[in-house]
């Protein structure tokens, strides 16, 4: 890369200040009042890296890039210099302030003149570097990153050095693709890249033909996009209600070339940056944060909920662990389940009763829950108790919750008189709400003569239900003796048996809620959907998986959301399509675990029926056009196999029955780096409020089931129109850093 020797000087040949820095000199480095040591500093030949000797044997040379410098400050301006030096050396002091979290470098020169020269020379070279043209900058940047990565300074790049280079230029690349590109560029088969081969490598890495075409259509100002060109693109393609001001903000934020930025232009590199960041993604940026009203009653929200939260794996022999609670809570789960049993040494334990799952202490779970409950969401956490304990150990449960959770535990209704409705998530911020059995009505809080008729309640919870007998004969309900202390902390979520919608409407208070096994709930959702919606406009419903799902698999939550059920509990420990949908459902609204139901599902007289779909405000017939254009760096499914993936993309729509649909592209053989599909699909969506869209990328296999490469789900109403990148998540819901899909989306009103 000989030509770049000059790029290193970036047009400052023979400059006195540059010469001064290249020669270098001694400076006193100040770390504390007692630690002041002389160090020799100089600018390296690349004119971009400062070198200084260090007396640590491990680090005989230390360097930092001029790029990392935020500012150079003359005088005793830093905390360190003010604290550790005297007034009289002020003129000889200066500090180098770094970007990010790196500590300042505090220095003292031998004279005031010398200090001035260091400061002005550094500022000059830095500002000069920042003003390079994009072309020079790219060359210079590649050259310098190469130099740094070229550990043995032989101007050749081995594959390992190339990896360092990619980390430096902050390009996310999957190892397999780096290797593939390396082979492509190593024309001489030497196992090294040199000169033009390196630039070829960089070109292949950042090449996006499909974006060249889009950029070319709108870049009408001397081959670049002016702010007007960019605005045209935002209005016509992205269908955004944007202004020139919005276009200028994007240029300021994403343009990489300072000269273009000065002209208020966006280069193709800047355009690509924009398309890969928040504003260019599929999810509406306005939906990413809190955008919903959080002051409605609690039962007006869908609430992200977990079942058997204590399990790490399956429910027959899997380990129980407090770690499982942490994982669920970090995914913004807002209702966790505790199966409580008598422990052998007097302390209640949590595990899956009558099975070989391991046991954990109740109090350890409560401690964990307290620590992690509000890390990702400040809205209330519901603790759902399934209680199989003796009265003695129930008293301990109440004591542990009261002492560990303290004032955050809700122990009485909010307000001075008997409530007639739920408080809102906003009212309950940072609070723990217990769901469980209660011996009496809530009115007891407000009346002097509280008469307890009985100290036991019917035990009609999940574990008591025997799968097989359930249909045959009504069994004798077993009774559970309930400790008064535990009963008293159940306020807004009192568990009661469900005896039909009519009974619930006439005889149950708003805070009395039922749990439904998935089969029963799905039956109600099919046969009496509208009655279920009206029921949920007043009360809470919790749905849980049937006991025969011993592998902890999940049921489809969508039909239950469609009938307004709030607490649709899934096995968070089991990666599944159903869990992907759950994560997608709660991803908007700041991932806080609460999503406001549409208005027609909050109305006790609602006429909405998701199955018959009569006319009403819910019916907003839309046409969704999706073009699957390309994929970027799709990971290999089997790291061990040498095979490259054969990717295909499926677009799935979930929602009311009329909206459920899926379509799939052809497969592309042996290309995960930049597959191009360019396939167009069209969907009809009748109830967009309840619809979800899921993108699935699979590795095609002719002999067995396709393997999942990545997926992404989000609510239909959170889609942005236009050219968008779709991030991809693993089956565990984690982002795959370098992978994405590039799509074009258009939602139109049906004529």
pLDDT tens across 453-504, in order? 677 887 765 544 534 344 444 556 678 899 999 999 999 999 999 999 999 9
CA–CA separation, 43 and 122 (whole Å)? 10
CATH 2.30.29.30 domain residues, the chain: 4-130
Is 265 one of the annotated active-site residues of the chain? no
The beta strand positions in 582-660, using DSSP E, are: 594-596, 622-632, 647-654
Pairing of strands 692-699, 676-685: unpaired
91 token code pair: 């003129």
CATH 2.60.40.150 domain residues, the chain: 622-749
CA–CA separation, 271 and 360 (whole Å)? 53
Is 352 one of the annotated active-site residues of the chain? yes
Q: Which residue in the list 140, 307, 388, 400 is annotated as catalytic? A: 307
Band of the pLDDT at 642, cuts 50, 70, 90?
A: low
Q: How do residues 125-155 score in pLDDT, each as one tens digit?
A: 988 876 654 445 445 545 565 666 666 666 6
CATH 3.20.20.190 domain residues, the chain: 299-442+479-601
pLDDT at position 316 is 77
pLDDT at position 471 is 46
CA–CA separation, 26 and 41 (whole Å)? 6
- Nearest residue to 628 via CA among 604, 610, 647, 643: 647
CATH architecture of structural domain 622-749: Sandwich (2.60)
Neighbouring-strand partners of residue 697: 649, 710
Q: How do residues 340-365 score in pLDDT, each as one tens digit?
A: 999 999 999 999 888 888 899 999 99
Q: Mean pLDDT check: name the lowest of 33-47, 156-170, 426-440.
A: 156-170
CA–CA separation, 55 and 160 (whole Å)? 28
- Is the Cβ–Cβ distance between 600 and 574 less than 8 Å? no
CATH 1.10.238.10 domain residues, the chain: 150-206, 209-280
pLDDT at position 293 is 98
pLDDT at position 139 is 53
Work out the angle at residue 657's Cα, subtended by the Cα atoms of residues 656 and 663, and round it to the nearest 5 degrees: 100
Q: How do residues 655-687 score in pLDDT, each as one tens digit?
A: 999 999 999 999 999 888 889 999 999 999 999
**Domain spanning 299-442+479-601, CATH class:** alpha beta
> Would you report the helix, strand and coil content of the chain in percent, each value rounded to 5?
35, 25, 40
CA–CA separation, 427 and 547 (whole Å)? 35
Sole residue written with tokens 């640590």: 56
CA–CA separation, 320 and 312 (whole Å)? 6
Q: How far is CA 330 from CA 371, 378, 425, 586, in A?
A: 11, 12, 18, 13
**What value does the mean pLDDT take over residues 48-72?**
76
- Is the Cβ–Cβ distance between 310 and 351 less than 8 Å? yes
DSSP of 515-578: EEEHHHHHHHHHHSHHHHHHHHHHS-EEEE--TT-TT------HHHHTTT-SEEEE-TTS--HH
More confident residue, 157 or 537: 537
CATH (residue range 150-206): 1.10.238.10
Is the per-residue pLDDT at 5 higher than 50?
A: no
CATH (residue range 209-280): 1.10.238.10
More confident residue, 326 or 299: 299
Dihedral (CA of 436, 439, 443, 448) sign = negative
Return mean pLDDT, the chain.
Answer: 88
- Is the Cβ–Cβ distance between 303 and 294 less than 8 Å? no
The CATH number of domain 4-130, selected from 2.60.40.10, 1.10.10.10, 1.20.1260.10, 2.30.29.30:
2.30.29.30
Exposed (0-12), middle (13-18) or buried (19+): which is 29, by Cβ within 10 Å? middle
Binding site, annotated residues for substrate = 29-56, 435, 437, 515, 542
Binding site, annotated residues = 29-56, 308, 337, 339, 386, 435, 437, 515, 542, 644, 646, 670, 699-701
CA–CA separation, 164 and 526 (whole Å)? 58
Band of the pLDDT at 10, cuts 50, 70, 90?
A: low
CA–CA separation, 322 and 343 (whole Å)? 16
Q: Which residue in the list 140, 352, 388, 725 is annotated as catalytic? A: 352
CA–CA separation, 683 and 473 (whole Å)? 46
Please count the other Cβ atoms lying within 10 Å of the Cβ belonging to residue 584.
22
């Amino acid at each position: 890369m000989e030509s770049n020797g000059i790029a290193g000087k970036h047009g400052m040949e023979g400059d006195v200040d540059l010469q001064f820095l290249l020669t270098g000199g001694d400076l006193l480095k100040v770390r504390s009042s007692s630690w002041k040591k002389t160090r020799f500093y100089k600018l390296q030949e690349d004119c971009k890296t400062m070198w200084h000797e260090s007396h640590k044997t491990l680090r005989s040379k230390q360097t930092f890039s001029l790029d990392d410098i935020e500012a150079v400050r003359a005088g005793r301006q830093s905390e360190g210099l003010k604290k550790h030096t005297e007034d009289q050396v002020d003129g000889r002091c200066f500090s180098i302030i770094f970007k990010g979290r790196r500590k300042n470098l505090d220095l003292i020169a031998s004279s005031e003149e010398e200090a001035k020269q260091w400061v002005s020379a550094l500022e000059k070279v830095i500002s000069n570097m920042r003003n390079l043209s994009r072309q020079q900058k790219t060359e210079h940047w590649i050259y310098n990153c190469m130099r740094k990565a070229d550990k043995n300074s032989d101007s050749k790049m081995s594959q390992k050095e190339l990896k360092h280079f990619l980390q430096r230029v902050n390009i996310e690349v999957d190892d397999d693709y780096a290797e593939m590109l390396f082979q492509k560029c190593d024309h001489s088969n030497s196992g090294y890249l040199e000169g033009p081969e390196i630039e070829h490598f960089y070109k292949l890495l950042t090449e996006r033909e499909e974006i060249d075409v889009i950029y070319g259509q709108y870049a009408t100002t001397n081959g670049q996009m002016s702010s007007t060109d960019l605005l045209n693109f935002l209005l016509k393609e992205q269908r955004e209600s944007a202004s020139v001001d919005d276009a200028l903000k994007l240029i300021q934020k994403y343009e990489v070339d300072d000269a273009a930025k000065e002209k208020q232009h966006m280069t193709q590199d800047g355009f690509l940056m924009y398309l890969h960041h928040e504003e260019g993604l599929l999810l509406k940026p306005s939906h990413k944060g809190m955008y919903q009203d959080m002051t409605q009653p609690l039962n007006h929200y869908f609430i992200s909920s977990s079942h058997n939260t204590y399990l790490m794996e399956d429910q027959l022999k899997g380990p129980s662990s407090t770690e499982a609670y942490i994982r669920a809570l970090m995914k913004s789960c807002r209702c966790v389940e505790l199966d409580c049993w008598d422990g052998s040494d007097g302390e209640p334990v949590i595990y899956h009763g009558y099975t070989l799952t391991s046991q954990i202490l109740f109090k350890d779970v409560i401690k964990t829950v307290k620590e992690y409950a509000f890390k990702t969401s400040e809205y209330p956490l519901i603790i759902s108790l399934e209680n199989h304990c003796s009265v003695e150990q129930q008293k301990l449960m109440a004591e542990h919750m009261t002492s560990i959770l303290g004032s955050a535990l809700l122990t009485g209704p909010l307000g001075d008189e008997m409530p007639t409705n739920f408080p809102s998530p906003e009212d309950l911020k940072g609070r723990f709400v217990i769901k469980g059995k209660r011996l009496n009505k809530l009115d007891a809080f407000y009346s002097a003569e509280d008469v307890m008729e009985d100290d036991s309640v019917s035990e009609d919870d999940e574990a008591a239900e025997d799968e097989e007998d359930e249909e045959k004969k009504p069994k004798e309900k077993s009774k559970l003796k309930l400790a008064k202390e535990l009963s008293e902390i159940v306020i807004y979520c009192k568990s009661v048996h469900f005896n039909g919608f009519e009974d619930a409407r006439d005889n149950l208070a708003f805070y009395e809620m039922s749990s439904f096994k998935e089969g029963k709930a799905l039956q109600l959702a099919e046969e009496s959907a509208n009655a279920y919606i009206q029921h949920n406009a007043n009360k809470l419903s919790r749905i849980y998986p049937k006991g025969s799902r011993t592998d902890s698999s999940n049921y489809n939550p969508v039909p239950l959301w469609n009938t307004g059920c709030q607490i649709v509990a899934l096995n968070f420990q089991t990666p599944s399509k159903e869990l992907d949908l759950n994560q997608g459902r709660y991803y908007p609204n700041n991932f806080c675990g609460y999503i406001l139901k549409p208005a027609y599902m909050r109305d006790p007289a609602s006429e909405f029926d998701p199955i018959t779909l009569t006319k009403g405000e819910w019916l907003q017939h839309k046409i969704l056009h999706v073009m699957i254009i390309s994929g970027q760096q799709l990971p290999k499914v089997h790291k061990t196999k040498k095979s490259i993936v054969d990717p295909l993309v499926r677009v799935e729509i979930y929602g009311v029955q009329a909206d459920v649909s899926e379509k799939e592209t052809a497969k592309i053989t042996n290309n995960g780096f930049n597959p191009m599909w360019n396939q167009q699909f069209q969907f009809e969506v009748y109830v967009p409020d309840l619809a979800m869209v899921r993108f699935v990328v699979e590795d095609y296999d002719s002999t067995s089931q396709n393997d999942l490469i990545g997926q992404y789900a989000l609510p239909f109403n959170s889609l942005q129109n236009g050219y968008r990148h779709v991030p991809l998540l693993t089956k565990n819901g984690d982002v795959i850093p370098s992978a994405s899909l590039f799509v074009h989306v258009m939602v139109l009103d049906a004529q």
